[in-house]
């Protein structure tokens, strides 16, 4: 939710942001007038309520004669108050609906436009040169017996898979390496619930235009989370967190579930786009004025992971129209996928400023003792998808895959994953 004060003081700034996103500017005017209506209705209600409270207090000390008259007045007031209160509540409902539709105000410097209007910030690493025809991760997965897509589909349908043997171990190694790095950087590990209540899902901003991306269990009124960000953002909801010792940083591990509605026919091969995967996510609660610096730190930690995996990648500054509704700025790191001759997103880090925290009511105490809304940021540190880039970039002519040096300690020192021996399964 945007800051109502900004709506009153500088609606033009919000309109400019909506414009950059290609979102509605009219929403801003609607919200502003709903805000004025609400404040008027609230003032009327509160005035009447004050009168009612004062009258009710007089009853106790009144003489028998006055009592009956006071009670009659009280009855009349009670009816008026009820009407006024209802009117105020309705005005607030209208305001909430309007203000919740407005997306986070993008930060200065964010490129305007849509999906293709991103800006490349830098490219790192060297793309591999093969003197043989490189295999894609599906072929490698089969050859090495580490990814079983056929049986995944047999059990659960398309976009499901088994990670097997070194594939399973590789994913766990990646997660553990990420967790170690995060712990060293001061993050607290959290294994999060993957089913959450509607208000948490709504609070994180995922129930807007991407609602059909989310698995929902009607029998229980619970949502399956597509990222542990949801649980991590909800973790401190309705709390006043203590930031006097610096930001609160969490590394959340969870399985993630995504319906991938609307992406039929896109990335159907392999495990690039799947319904279920694992992810280690960084999440920071921090004072708003430090949020942009923290965003750079999250990005640096992500790049550190990519470098440990010896992957060539580029960093892009996502355009306003391609930001999630909660994000004020987003950087993606995309790794090179040789067989696609393209960079594909491996990490994404968003600065949600105070937008998400305001919805979830997460505050902190400033030095002057007053409370204020915190800023929240999130960023990927490792996901199952990384296996695609690792397998493809480090493949060798015989189909074996060299394990990046930094990952070896997490794999019992193994240096190479060898093709499986010929057998019946």
Q: Which residues here bind RNA, judged by CB under 7 A? A: 4, 39, 42-43, 45-47, 49-50, 52-57, 59-60, 70-71, 74-75, 77-78, 89, 240, 363, 370-371
Which of residues 57 and 122 has its CB atom nearest to RNA in the complex?
A: 57
The torsion angles phi and psi of 359, rounded to 5 degrees, stand at: -65, -40
Which of residues 194 and 393 has its CB atom nearest to RNA in the complex?
A: 194
Report how far apart, in Å, the C-alpha atoms of 156 and of each of 151, 222, 225, 278 are: 8, 21, 18, 17
Burial class (CB in 10 A: 0-12, 13-18, 19+), 287: middle
Burial class (CB in 10 A: 0-12, 13-18, 19+), 226: buried
Which of residues 365 and 402 has its CB atom nearest to RNA in the complex?
A: 365
Q: Among this protein's residues, is 402 annotated catalytic?
A: no
- Give the shortest CB-194-to-RNA separation in angstroms: 13
Candidate list 258, 329, 359, 363, residue with the active-site label: 258
Half-sphere CA count of 93, side-chain side, radius 13 A: 6
What does the DSSP assignment read for 364-419?
EE-TTS-EEEPEEEEEEEEETTHHHHHHHHTB-TTS-EEPPGGGGGGGTT--EEPP
C-alpha of 200 from chain center: 11
- Give the shortest CB-5-to-RNA separation in angstroms: 8
- Give the shortest CB-81-to-RNA separation in angstroms: 7
Q: For 13-157, where are the E strands, in sequence order?
A: 119-124, 147-148
**Which tokens belong to 188?**
């607290």
Q: Among this protein's residues, is 49 annotated catalytic?
A: no
* CB of 31 closer than 8 Å to CB of 102: yes
Q: Among this protein's residues, is 385 annotated catalytic?
A: yes
Candidate list 254, 363, 385, 392, residue with the active-site label: 385
- Give the shortest CB-197-to-RNA separation in angstroms: 8
Candidate list 254, 325, 326, 348, residue with the active-site label: 348
Candidate list 39, 49, 87, 273, residue with the active-site label: 273
Q: Which of 265, 281, 179 is nearest to 226 (CA)?
A: 281
- Give the shortest CB-92-to-RNA separation in angstroms: 9
Q: Among this protein's residues, is 21 annotated catalytic?
A: no
Which of residues 51 and 418 has its CB atom nearest to RNA in the complex?
A: 51
Q: Among this protein's residues, is 392 annotated catalytic?
A: no
- Give the shortest CB-77-to-RNA separation in angstroms: 7
* CB of 139 closer than 8 Å to CB of 269: no
Which of residues 179 and 222 has its CB atom nearest to RNA in the complex?
A: 222
Which of residues 39 and 273 has its CB atom nearest to RNA in the complex?
A: 39
Candidate list 85, 345, 402, 418, residue with the active-site label: 345
User: Any idea which residues carry the catalytic annotation?
Assistant: 258, 273, 345, 348, 385
């Amino acid at each position: 939710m945007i800051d109502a004060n900004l709506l009153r003081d500088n609606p033009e700034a919000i309109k400019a942001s909506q414009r950059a996103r290609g979102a509605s500017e009219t929403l801003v005017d609607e919200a502003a007038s709903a805000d004025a209506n609400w404040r008027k209705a609230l003032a009327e209600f509160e005035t009447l309520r004050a009168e009612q409270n004062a009258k009710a207090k007089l009853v106790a000390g009144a003489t028998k004669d006055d009592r009956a008259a006071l009670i009659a007045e009280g009855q009349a007031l009670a009816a008026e108050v009820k009407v006024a209160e209802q009117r105020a509540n309705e005005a607030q409902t209208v305001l909430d609906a309007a203000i919740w539709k407005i997306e986070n105000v993008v930060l200065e410097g964010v490129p305007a436009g849509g999906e293709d209007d991103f800006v490349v910030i830098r490219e790192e690493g060297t793309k591999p040169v093969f003197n043989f025809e490189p295999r894609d991760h599906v072929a490698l997965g089969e050859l090495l017996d580490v990814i079983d897509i056929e049986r995944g589909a047999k059990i659960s349908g398309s976009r499901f898979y088994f990670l097997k043997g070194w594939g399973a171990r590789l994913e766990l190694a990646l997660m553990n390496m990420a967790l170690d790095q995060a712990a060293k950087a001061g993050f607290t590990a959290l294994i999060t619930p993957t089913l959450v209540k509607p208000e948490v899902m709504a609070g994180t901003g995922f129930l807007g235009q991407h609602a059909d991306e989310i698995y929902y269990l009607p029998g229980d009124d619970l949502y399956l989370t597509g990222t542990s960000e949801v649980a991590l953002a909800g973790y401190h909801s309705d709390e006043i967190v203590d930031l006097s010792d610096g930001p609160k940083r969490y590394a959340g591990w969870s399985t993630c579930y995504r319906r991938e509605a609307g992406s039929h026919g896109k990335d159907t091969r392999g495990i690039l786009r799947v319904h279920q995967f694992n992810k280690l996510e960084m999440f920071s609660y921090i004072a708003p004025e430090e949020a942009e610096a923290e965003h750079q730190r999250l990005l640096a930690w992500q790049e550190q992971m990519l470098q440990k995996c010896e992957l060539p990648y580029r960093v892009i500054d996502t355009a306003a129209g391609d930001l999630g509704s909660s994000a004020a700025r987003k950087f993606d790191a995309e790794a090179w996928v040789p067989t696609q001759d393209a960079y594909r997103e491996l990490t994404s880090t968003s600065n949600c400023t105070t937008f998400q925290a305001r919805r979830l009511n997460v505050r902190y105490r400033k030095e002057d003792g007053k409370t204020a809304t915190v800023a929240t940021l999130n960023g990927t540190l490792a996901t199952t998808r990384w296996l695609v880039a690792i397998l493809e970039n480090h493949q060798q002519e015989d189909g074996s895959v060299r394990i990046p040096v930094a990952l070896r300690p997490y794999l019992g020192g193994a240096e190479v994953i060898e093709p499986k021996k010929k057998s019946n399964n």
